[in-house]
């Protein structure tokens, strides 16, 4: 039976028909292959979409066939060498020119990064990475735009330190046991020390500010000097040095214990008795009695009266007010001989 069919087939188709049939089979196969290679993809360039039909096997070939050129800095997803998938969407972000001013130079850079931060990261071979204190304008999160100008300011600081001496103060204390003009060092002064720190702030290596602080590392020790306050009287008659604390000029009169001066006569219980209760006296080589105004010279004060000698304030008088004294003499004649004088009175130590 099979053999009969074969024979009939050979008899039924002529040689020309056979050839046509074979060609048709080949064309059908080619068409099937071509249809299998045909792909439709969508390409988005900077957000603008277009649809292309391609027979290329890879994305790179499809772009080339469609006349879409890529720069080395352009970004494309998926990878340019990847195999095409029918219906696939391809994203292309074209690189734009920007300028970056940094470290004393101005670079023109092509970038397809989204923001300033990503651009800096991708260009770290050209631009030294920023430190936390560095400044950048516009901010790192700013979107990249064509012809954008980015300025980087390098912020730094330096510290200078210097030691300086601190002078000590001198304190003068009065000493009532030393002559005026004499000095004695009670404590030597010691110089202190302070550390001065200067922090200099720089932007692009140019000073913009400086802050100076001081720290005392060693306190100075003050010098203490005792200075005498005592005046000195050189009394030639005795060859003594008499020390006094102060002096004043007074109007000096003289009195005696008699009636003409005190209104008292010998035999009177208070005859010759001073206001302080002592007996008035004139002592040539000792302390004689004088009357004073207690508001000016205190009772009991020892003095030296110019032209009279040593004295002690023991008495008062109705007319002895202010800078006045009354020196005592044993007799009226001596008192009268004194008269009225302006003399210096020295308050003794």
Write out the H or E segment, with its range, that includes residue 193. Answer: strand 192-203
Contact 130, 122 (CB under 8 A): no
- Output the pLDDT for position 241: 80
- Residue 28 clears pLDDT 50, i.e. is over it: no
Full-model pTM = 0.54
- Output the pLDDT for position 108: 96
pLDDT band at residue 24, thresholds of 50, 70 and 90?
A: low
- Of 9 and 45, the structure prediction assigns the larger pLDDT to 45
Contact 132, 140 (CB under 8 A): no
Whether the ω angle into residue 143 lies within 30 degrees of 0, i.e. cis, is: no
Segment 40-93, tens digit of pLDDT: 999 999 999 999 998 878 898 988 888 899 999 999 999 998 998 998 999 999
- Output the pLDDT for position 235: 76
pLDDT band at residue 36, thresholds of 50, 70 and 90?
A: very low
d(CA 104, CA 243): 82
- Output the pLDDT for position 10: 52
- Output the pLDDT for position 31: 44
Strands 309-315 and 170-179: unpaired
d(CA 143, CA 129): 19
Determine the 3-state secondary structure of 301 from DSSP.
Answer: coil
Classify burial at 47, counting beta carbons within 10 Å of its beta carbon; exposed 0-12, middle 13-18, buried 19 or more.
Answer: exposed
Contact 280, 257 (CB under 8 A): yes
- Output the pLDDT for position 234: 80
- Output the pLDDT for position 349: 87
Segment 194-251, tens digit of pLDDT: 999 999 999 999 999 999 999 999 999 999 999 999 999 887 666 678 899 999 999 9
- Residue 3 clears pLDDT 60, i.e. is over it: no
Compute the mean pLDDT over every residue in the chain, rounded to the nearest whole number: 90
Segment 104-143, tens digit of pLDDT: 999 999 999 999 999 999 999 999 999 999 999 999 999 9
Segment 275-313, tens digit of pLDDT: 999 999 999 889 999 999 999 999 999 999 999 999 999
Q: What are the Cα distances from residue 286, in Å, to 2, 24, 314, 348? A: 181, 166, 14, 14
- Residue 14 clears pLDDT 70, i.e. is over it: no
Q: For the sheet containing 155-166, what is the strand order?
A: 155-166, 192-203, 206-218
- Residue 34 clears pLDDT 70, i.e. is over it: no
d(CA 170, CA 33): 111
**∠ CA(317), CA(321), CA(324), 5° rounding?**
90
């Amino acid at each position: 039976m099979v053999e009969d069919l074969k024979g009939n087939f050979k008899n039924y188709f002529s040689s020309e028909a056979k050839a046509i049939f074979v060609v048709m089979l080949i064309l059908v196969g080619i068409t099937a292959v071509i249809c299998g290679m045909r792909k439709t993809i969508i390409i988005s360039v900077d957000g603008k979409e277009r649809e292309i039909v391609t027979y290329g096997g890879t994305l790179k070939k499809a772009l080339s066939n469609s006349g879409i050129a890529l720069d080395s800095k352009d970004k494309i997803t998926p990878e340019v060498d990847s195999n095409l998938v029918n219906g696939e969407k391809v994203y292309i972000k074209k690189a734009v020119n920007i300028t970056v001013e940094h470290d004393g130079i101005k670079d023109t850079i092509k970038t397809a990064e989204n923001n300033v931060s990503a651009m800096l990261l991708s260009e770290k071979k050209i631009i030294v990475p920023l430190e936390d204190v560095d400044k950048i304008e516009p901010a790192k999160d700013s979107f990249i735009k064509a012809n954008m100008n980015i300025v980087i300011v390098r912020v730094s600081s330096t510290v200078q330190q210097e030691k300086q001496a601190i002078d000590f103060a001198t304190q003068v204390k009065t000493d009532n046991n030393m002559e005026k003009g004499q000095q004695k060092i009670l404590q030597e002064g010691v110089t202190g020390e302070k550390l001065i720190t200067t922090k200099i702030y720089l932007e692009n290596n140019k000073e913009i500010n400086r802050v100076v602080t001081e720290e005392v590392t060693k306190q100075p020790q003050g010098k203490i000097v005792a200075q005498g306050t005592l005046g000195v009287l050189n009394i030639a008659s005795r060859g003594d040095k008499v020390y006094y604390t102060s002096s004043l000029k007074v109007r000096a009169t003289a009195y005696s214990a008699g009636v003409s001066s005190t209104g008292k006569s010998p035999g009177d219980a208070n005859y010759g008795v001073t206001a302080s209760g002592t007996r008035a006296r004139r002592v040539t080589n000792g302390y004689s009695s004088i009357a004073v105004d207690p508001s000016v010279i205190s009772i009991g004060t020892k003095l030296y009266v110019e032209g009279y000698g040593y004295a002690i304030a023991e008495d008062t008088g109705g007319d002895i007010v202010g800078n006045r004294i009354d020196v005592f003499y044993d007799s009226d004649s001596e008192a009268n001989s004194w008269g009225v004088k302006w003399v210096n009175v020295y308050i003794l130590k």
